[in-house]
Homo-oligomer: A and B are copies of this chain.
Amino acid sequence: MTDTRTQILEKSYQALRLHGFQGTRADKVILDLGITKGALYHYFPSKLDLGYAIVDELIMPRYTRLWLSLDQFEGNPADGIIAQLRYLISMSSEEEVRLGCPLNNLMQEMAPLDQGFQQRLQHIVNVQREAIGSALKRGQQAGQIRQEIETDPSAIFILSSLEGSYSIAKALQQREIFETSLQTLIQFVQALKT
């Protein structure tokens, strides 16, 4: 039996995936969990704080770890990036794609609406960008990545294409579209090699 706080966090995360933050109903969460408002507001002072906790404790670690691990990759960094993209393809279930990337969803919904969300999501993207960018830079220094490419814009483009692939696949509600799009992205990354 997991503790109540964790239960609230994970059930809210599920709701967030399905309905977005604004669409998430605190009442529904506690009803589903068979607890009461007292419990929820004991752990989280407000709905907004619950949202922040979901980002900090669930989304942030998951979505930075993937790219931070590029640090440990030996060999051409482009292959490291490709390996992670392939991993994302293998992880992408029909359900996953239908609901879209949680990070992407939340950025779209909350970035312009709330500073707290905006700062947190900005931080996650910057960590990702930094991780990919510095991996590419290391590759350049090792002569594995073409000198003429600009590492930071390339990192941004890779992230953009990745999130965009989630978007389009979600719009068309087809996992296959996600795979197709990522495959083209992999070719792009491949072309960064010397």
Contact = CB atoms under 8 A, between A and B. Distances in A.
Indicate the size class of the contact surface on chain A: 35 or more
Contacts of A160: 161, 164-165, 167-168, 181
Given A99-B112, A104-B108, A108-B105, A156 B177 contact: yes
Contact of A173 (B111, B154, B162, B191): B111
Given A125-B171, A184-B153, A184-B156, A108 B108 contact: yes
Interface of A: 18-20, 22-23, 98-100, 104-105, 107-109, 111-113, 118, 121-122, 125-126, 152-154, 156-157, 159-165, 167-168, 170-173, 177, 180-181, 183-185, 188, 191
Copy number in this complex?
A: 2
Nearest to A98: B112
10 contacts: A23-B113, A107-B171, A108-B167, A112-B170, A112-B173, A121-B171, A125-B168, A125-B172, A156-B181, A157-B181
Given A113-B19, A122-B173, A104 B180 contact: no
Contacts of A109: 20, 105, 108-109
A108 B100 contact: yes
Nearest to A178: B160
Contacts of A164: 159-165, 167
